[in-house]
Chains A and B, each alone.
Chain A
């Protein structure tokens, strides 16, 4: 049975098991499954999916609702945490909440579970206000909405600052068979509130896992959100990350995406600037090899005037790896004085690696500053010569230059321990092992 049929036929059983108090959510799910039935999985015929085919990853015989709960000890998974600072943690194993690995809170801020938010009446107002408001109604987002029942729920209330970063980690074990996971996160940051979030999807075996994740983020007036995605998964793991962000007046949202592994990774990252003087920052570093595939599909929708957006994505591709960057910037007629910047720079380490890069600018306002640039290159020969004359052999010189190429994206990372960790991963990926002060 094809995955789509399997999903559709299992929906009724899911609905019976997971009926919630909130009729609002029940209705959304019902509507979503119909939309998914009508639209299905995106294919390469869809312009947005031209360079990324899901065919191979959808071909597995996925177990949709893993029964057994696998116990994982903290010491076994500690390396996947940023463990040298105090953080709140919302941790899942095979889609189920792992309380022994988590640390949630309700003190001034809600850092807890989507399953609670969807079922308990005290969250009802927030859910009805925000849930599924900016996630699209078709394809993968619809599929996620139809089956949504677990994930992270974060609500930072007015004027509150979360002093600790929040880690959302989804572990998958896929011990018995291939596993399909569909986490659903909702992050609402009220007026003048601040939060930092680190999100990671991590498979613990080489078995196939497909994660279709949807995260909705709402930045209200003057809210400040720093969001970091670490994608450094095992070779059997594929991830479709759908993140939708609504920004109100004077809010500031930065999303850093670090993609270093996994079989296929697709990031759909959409920013909607619905208020004036908003700043959106999208940064990414991708370093992949073998037959890995990474696709960044970004949209920055400038709707209100006097806003800024900065996109800076860097990619290093070796072996037969494939990279895709599709960055769309839409500036509506009302969005005068927009300042939109986009850069996508890539290094191809050998002849077999591929990068498809496609900037798309649609500008309907006349008083705007928009720039974009993409480069695909090899390493600078003069720089190579320079390093070699200092006694650094070719291989190490190459690695050092690639490291330098990638690592300046990290300047805007605001959590030092995270920066250090990412730096270390980059150095490891590139084989730079030269006693740096990271």
Chain B
């Protein structure tokens, strides 16, 4: 589904991604772990289409199509979704209006008409119940004054509405207490199917207890330096990242 080949990207003069290779197939859950500053969030942003990053080498193939020239909204229309580490606050636009707009714009891009109001309401009700989101919450301004947990739940709520093929969850566990983490992870798990895929980006192994990955990759200094099964996550949790750093530096 997603195939990243030799991806080099920079912001300004600074290279942050220095040759990433990654392949994710439908039905799989991948986790990218790594110390702070290794380029995890940059990778998420580059795949999602943030313009401030410049791709200097390599390509990003999504369903066999190079998407590196597409805008973020065009990538979204193809089925990519990024759950933000820090969701943006937008006072003046309610959660409901926002997801309606997002869904209808996505439908429009696919040549479909707006979803009828009653169907939309039903969908919103269904998905908000799944994430244990209160009704009142839906008429609040998007992310404004939301707690960390509410913001992340709201991200997964949007994902549930948009039903992407590939969801990238960037540090979705940060700022969550254990209850919120469980709700969010349950939501993600319910949305999983053999036709979609999930890329979990996290610093800690904690989230992976709930969203169990098929593959774990370690990102360090802009490169994937180690890949393995879910047991790699436990190893990292136990030993920290220093041994990885050492290993990499020894090779160099």
Contacts and interface: CB of A to CB of B under 8 A. Distances in A.
A434 B91 contact: no
Main secondary structure of the interface of A (DSSP, over half): helix
B92 interface: yes
A404 B109 CA distance: 23
B104 A404 contact: no
A396 B94 CA distance: 16
A82 interface: no
B71 A434 contact: no
B91 A391 contact: no
Given A389-B81, A392-B73, A382 B88 contact: yes
A389 B48 contact: yes
A401 B90 contact: yes
Nearest to B87: A386
A313 interface: no
B201 interface: no
B164 to A, nearest CB: 9
Given A396-B105, A404-B93, A388 B76 contact: yes
A27 interface: no
Given A400-B101, A404-B93, A389 B106 contact: no
A393 B71 CA distance: 9
B76 A383 contact: no
A306 interface: no
Interface string B5-41: 0000000000000000000000000000000000000
Interface string A425-438: 00000000011110
B73 A388 contact: yes
B72 A388 contact: yes
Contact of B92 (A380, A387, A404, A435): A404
A391 B99 CA distance: 10
B88 A391 contact: no
A390 interface: yes
Contact of A383 (B51, B72, B88, B100): B88
B88 A386 contact: yes
Interface string A339-383: 000000000000000000000000000000000000000001111
A357 to B, nearest CB: 21
A387 B48 CA distance: 12
Given A381-B52, A388-B49, A391-B73, A396 B88 contact: no
Chain A interface size, as a band, is 20 to 34
A46 B66 CA distance: 61
B218 interface: no
B90 A392 contact: no
A383 B90 contact: yes
A406 B93 CA distance: 11
**Best-surrounded residue of A389, A392, A393, A396 (most CB of chain B within 10 A):** A389
Contact of A391 (B52, B102, B141): B102
B158 interface: yes
B84 interface: yes
B72 A403 contact: no
Contacts of A401: 90
B73 A397 contact: yes
Contacts of B75: 389
B188 interface: no
B92 A408 contact: yes
**Best-surrounded residue of A382, A391, A392, A404 (most CB of chain B within 10 A):** A391
Given A386-B87, A390-B102, A391-B77, A403 B114 contact: no
Given A390-B102, A392-B102, A408-B91, A437 B97 contact: yes
A333 B30 CA distance: 68
Interface in B88-142: 88, 90-94, 96-98, 100-106, 109, 114, 117, 141
B93 A391 contact: no
B158 A390 contact: yes
A17 B174 CA distance: 78
Interface in A201-252: none
B82 A389 contact: yes
A4 to B, nearest CB: 45
Contact of A434 (B77, B104, B141, B162): B104
B114 to A, nearest CB: 6
B197 to A, nearest CB: 17
Nearest to A393: B73
Contacts of A11: none
Interface string B64-88: 0000000111011100111010011
A385 interface: yes
A415 to B, nearest CB: 19
B133 to A, nearest CB: 17
A400 B96 CA distance: 14
Interface in B192-245: none
A394 B73 contact: yes
A436 B114 CA distance: 12
Interface string A30-50: 000000000000000000000
B90 A391 contact: no
Given A394-B71, A405-B92, A385 B50 contact: yes
A407 interface: yes
Contact of B100 (A380, A382, A435): A435
22 contacts: A387-B102, A388-B71, A388-B73, A390-B73, A390-B162, A391-B73, A392-B101, A393-B71, A394-B71, A396-B105, A400-B101, A403-B92, A404-B91, A404-B93, A408-B91, A408-B92, A434-B97, A434-B100, A434-B104, A434-B105, A435-B114, A437-B96
**Which 8 residue pairs of A and B lie closest in terms of their CB atoms, listed nearest first?**
A404-B92, A388-B72, A391-B106, A391-B76, A390-B102, A386-B88, A388-B73, A408-B92
Given A382-B88, A396-B101, A434-B104, 18 more contacts: A385-B51, A386-B84, A387-B90, A388-B72, A389-B72, A390-B98, A391-B73, A391-B103, A391-B105, A391-B109, A391-B162, A392-B73, A392-B102, A393-B105, A396-B105, A400-B90, A403-B93, A436-B97
